[in-house]
Every structure is written in C-alpha cells, then in structure tokens.
Structure 1
Amino acid sequence: MTDTRRRAAWATTGALLAAVVLTACTGPAPEAVPSVAESAAGPTIEAPETTATPASETPDPTCENIIPQATADDFTSIGWVTQQEPFRIGAIELEDGIQCKWGDQKIASDRVQIFGWAPIDEATAATAQKELVASGWKVELEDDGTYVTENPEWLGGRGVDGYGLTYFFGDGFVKLADTRQSLILVDTPR
C-alpha cells in the first residue's frame, strides 16, 4: 500500500471513528413541537374555576394537644390523668374551649397542674376581664396581651413571684394555667 492510500485509509477510519464518537454523545433527535398555529386550531380549553382554599381550622382542644406532647407524656408516665372541664372565666363558659386538671386521681391532693385554652372574641374578653377585676383579680397589660391573675393575698404560698391562677388574653384566644409561669406550656391546639 502506498503512502497516499495509507493516509487516505487512516483519514477515512479517523473520520468514521469521529462520527461514531460524536453520534454516541448526542441525544435522540428532538420531537416535533406543534406550532402555535396548530395548537390554536384545536378545541378551546377553558381554565378550571378556582376557589379559595379555606384556611386550616384550629383542631378541637384536648388536654393533650394544648400543652407540649413531652409534658403530657411526662404526666402520663408518673400515673397522672386528666380531668376535663368546660373552660370558664367566672360565670362565662367558652363552649369551644377546654380546662384540664392533671393529677393523680387515686389520692386526694392539691398537687395538680391546671391548663386551659379557648378561642374568644374581643367583646367576651373585655366582659370576662371586667368580671375578674370586679372579683379582686389583678390586671397586667403587656405588649403580647393582658394577664389577669389571682389576688396575691389569696395564694397562701402558692405560685412564684406572687402569681397563682392566671389568664392570658391574646389575639382571639385566652389561656389559663395554675401559675403565670406555667402559661408558657399552653399553646394553640396542634
């Protein structure tokens, strides 16, 4: 074989090899995309009507879902159970609320924890606060809401810093705990 033929053979082989390698690196040929004119000629498809999705509602309060799950589990692990009652502020009963007394029901004891939560509107909150104050409860206005607590003279040593039973009135809800410090455990039902 002559040099010219050898070079031509190598060139042809190289070109074929390059074509094979380049073909292996490319994907399949793109599918034809219908043109705007083709899709415009088809049937008219109307957009479905949209409706506003309702905001998720707060679940019904239970003695287990208004306090942290770990706290409820701790109470249960030491044999405590709950006594569930309607949420009351004086003579006012809040139907959608709950008041819970955690303790050992097998023995007579004042060693209990009290927690409560209820939705409340502004008018009912104002009425409830007035009723409590008229009964001798103390009001403290804070940036995050209004605290209404038992008169410290009634406590007989209960509560830290002179706080016993305390209601906290927030934006659309009220919480209750046996001390102001325990209010941190009460939250919107989860």
Structure 2
Amino acid sequence: MATTTTRLSKQARREQLLDTAVAMVRGQGTDGLTLVTLAEAAKVSRPIVYDHFGTRPGLLLALYRRLDERHRAAIAQALQDAAPTAAEVARVISTAYFACATDMPELTAISAALKGNPEMEATQHELMGRYTDLMAAALSPYSRLSRNALRLRCVGLLGAAEAIAGDVTRERVTSDEAVVALTDLIMGGLATGQGH
C-alpha cells in the first residue's frame, strides 16, 4: 500500500482526492473508481480515503457536489460579466447549461452510477433548486412575474433544457442549436410574463 509523504490539511487532502477522482472518472468512467483505487491513484493510505468519504456512494456524491458547485460558480461569473439585457442573460444561461452537458460528462456518469440511490436523488433535487434560484435571480430584472411564478417558469425551462441536452447527447442537434432553442424559450417565457 502506498502512502503519502506530504502532510496536507484535511480540506487540502479532500481537494487532492477529489481532483484525483475527477481525473479517474474522466479517463475511465465511474466503474473503476472505488475507495481503494482512489487511494492507490492518490498515493495515500486507504484509511485516509475512507475517513473522507466512508463509502463509494459517499465519494461519488462528494464528487457530484463539487462538480456542480464549480459549474454554478462558472455560471455566476458569466452572468456577472454579461451585458445587462434579457437576451444576453438568457444566452449566457443557455450557453452555460449546455457547456456543462458537454464539458463535464463526469456529472452525467456519476448521476448514472448513483441512479436509484435516495441520497443522490435528494442531492440532485437540492442542487437543482439552487440552480433554479440562480436562474430566477438572474432573470428577475427582466420579468414582471412574481418571484414564485418566475421560479416555477425556470423549473419548466430547466426541464426543457434537460430534454434538449438529451438530443445533444444523441447528436440529433448541435450545442449551438441547443443554445439558440433554450435562449428562445427563456425569452418567450419572459415575454409572456410581461404585464402578469
């Protein structure tokens, strides 16, 4: 068993382990990622990995959360840098959504590996709620809908985005076509909300 010679803080070690896990999933999918293979790849003892994640599902959930947090941070930054118009905000949201689908296939792989896991379902609902809130907050300056009505519309738009992402994955449409379609849906949702 290989052990590390560098002593890291607990948080730094966790980040190192998650970085290694992302690289493993990217290179070989989730099937080869276990607590034992992660310990070997990260050159740490098995108890260190078990201490951080406990179980394989615990590792996969931590990895899923981390990737989601990075995705939301990138969207938040892109929104902050966007021109303050409804069309530009809608385009940025759409572009970021499909960039995640194509640039972060690990999220999909991890989700598939944990399908049916109740903790994963709860995590996905929680993270989707955060994404919905981020989207609604970005669009609220351009809508006269109540906060709850706009949030509900964003839930529907994200459902449409997920369906469109499926077509991107199956190569029925390009990412560019998907961005245009979702941007149009967002703008249409805002337009129908005017005056309501």
TM-score interval for Structure 1 and Structure 2 normalised by the shorter chain: under 0.3
Specify which structure has the higher proportion of strand: 1
Which of the pair has the greater relative contact order for Cα pairs under 8 Å at 6+ separation?
2
Q: Normalising by structure 1, what TM-score?
A: 0.23
Larger Rg: 1
Point out the structure with the larger helix share: 2
